[in-house]
């Protein structure tokens, strides 16, 4: 009988120990959960990509997009047709937004409370004339109309002359007028060869387009192409200086396509037009030099 009483006491003691351990574990877990979910706060920074965030509901943050006083249904896409660009943002609850123009996305900073609203405001981007004229230079056959359309952006350096054709001309020194364009020409090192727009000449007869009258862009190269003869001839003709007639001049044959002259273009023929290399006249008595 004494042994049985001892066994009963031992069982009760183990039971008390197990209950105590369980209580300690339960209290510890409860404290850990409380500390994690009740006392913990975090300030987050994360990018929000293009798209509409739902209204307050299950979301912690809500975005509203505006153009002026008009609320937009969604954030404008990059390179949108309306030419809208990011202007500024406002957030409540101490949050703020930094705009990433490359990713075309807002970076939300200081988000430490749920139900935060950020208003993103967009405005229409109006390019400067410098930017517009670069785009015009990439418009090919539409460059003249592009320049005329954007002429009102620069009323200081771009004037309409007093001729009946009302041509548009640039005025001012080279360093004050940024009207250089890249039309695709490259030097031997692959660097762009820039051209400067003189203006838009109206009512020009275009022989390459059936003789129709068009508005054409007049351009001049930024750098000299070198010293070449207007015309050259044997010493017995005008003392070797050639003739003062554009339709027969050597420089005309150098600059234009070979359909405008007859004969074998062994020297100078359309080399500049065709971006070729060879010999060009560079002095009287038919003196010439090799150019690349």
How confident is the model at residue 3, as a pLDDT? 47
Q: For the chain of 292 residues, list the mean pLDDT of each consecutive stretch of 10.
A: 53 67 68 55 49 50 90 89 90 90 88 84 76 58 70 70 83 63 76 80 78 82 83 89 87 80 70 81 88 74
In terms of Cα–Cα distance, which of 291, 234, 236, 240 is closest to 267? Answer: 291
Supply the pLDDT for residue 222.
Answer: 75
Give the integer Cα–Cα distance in Å for 158 and 154.
6
Asked if 74 and 65 count as a contact pair (C-beta separation under 8 A), the reply is yes
Q: Where are the beta strands (DSSP E) in the chain?
A: 44-47, 61-67, 70-72, 84-91, 96-100, 105-111, 116-124, 158-160, 168-170, 180-186, 192-206, 212-221, 278-283, 287-291
- The pLDDT score that the predictor gives to residue 151 is 67
Which DSSP state fits 93? T
In a domain, 233, yes or no: no
Q: For Cα atoms 252, 257, 261, give the angle at the middle one, nearest 5 degrees.
A: 60
Mark whether 217 and 263 lie in a shared domain. no
pLDDT of residue 67: 93
With residue 227 as reference, give the H or E element that holds it: none
| Structural domain containing residue 214 | 129-221
Residue 96, domain member (yes or no)? yes
Last-in-domain residue among 81, 103, 124: 124
Q: Does 156 lie in the same domain as 109?
A: no
Q: What is the pLDDT of residue 133?
A: 57
Question: Domain boundary at 68, 102, 124, which?
Answer: 124
Q: What confidence score (pLDDT) does residue 40 get?
A: 45
Any domain includes 7: no
Q: How many domains does the chain have?
A: 3
The pTM of this model reads 0.41
């Amino acid at each position: 009988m004494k042994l049985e009483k001892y066994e009963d006491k031992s069982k009760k003691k183990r039971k008390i120990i197990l209950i105590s351990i369980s209580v300690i574990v339960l209290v510890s877990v409860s404290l850990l959960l409380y500390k994690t979910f009740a006392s913990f706060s975090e300030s987050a920074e994360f990018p929000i990509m293009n798209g509409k965030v739902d209204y307050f509901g299950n979301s912690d943050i809500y975005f509203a997009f505006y153009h002026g006083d008009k609320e937009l249904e969604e954030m404008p896409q990059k390179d949108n047709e309306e030419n809208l660009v990011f202007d500024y943002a406002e957030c409540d609850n101490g949050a703020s937004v930094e705009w990433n123009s490359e990713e075309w996305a807002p970076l939300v900073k200081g988000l430490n409370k749920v139900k935060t609203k950020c208003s993103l405001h967009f405005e229409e981007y109006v390019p400067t004339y410098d930017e517009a004229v670069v785009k015009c230079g990439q418009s090919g056959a539409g460059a003249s109309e592009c320049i005329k359309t954007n002429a009102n952006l620069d009323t200081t350096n771009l004037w309409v002359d007093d001729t009946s054709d009302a041509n548009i001309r640039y005025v001012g020194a080279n360093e004050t007028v940024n009207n250089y364009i890249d039309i695709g020409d490259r030097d031997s090192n692959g660097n762009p060869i820039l051209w400067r727009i003189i203006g838009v000449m109206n009512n020009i007869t275009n022989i390459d387009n059936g003789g129709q009258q068009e508005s054409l862009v007049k351009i001049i190269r930024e750098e000299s192409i070198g010293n070449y003869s207007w015309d050259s001839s044997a010493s017995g003709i005008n003392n070797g200086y050639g003739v003062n007639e554009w339709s027969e001049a050597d420089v005309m044959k150098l600059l234009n396509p070979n359909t405008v002259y007859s004969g074998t273009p062994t020297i100078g023929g359309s080399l500049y037009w065709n971006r070729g290399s060879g010999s060009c006249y560079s002095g009287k008595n038919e003196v010439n030099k090799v150019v690349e």
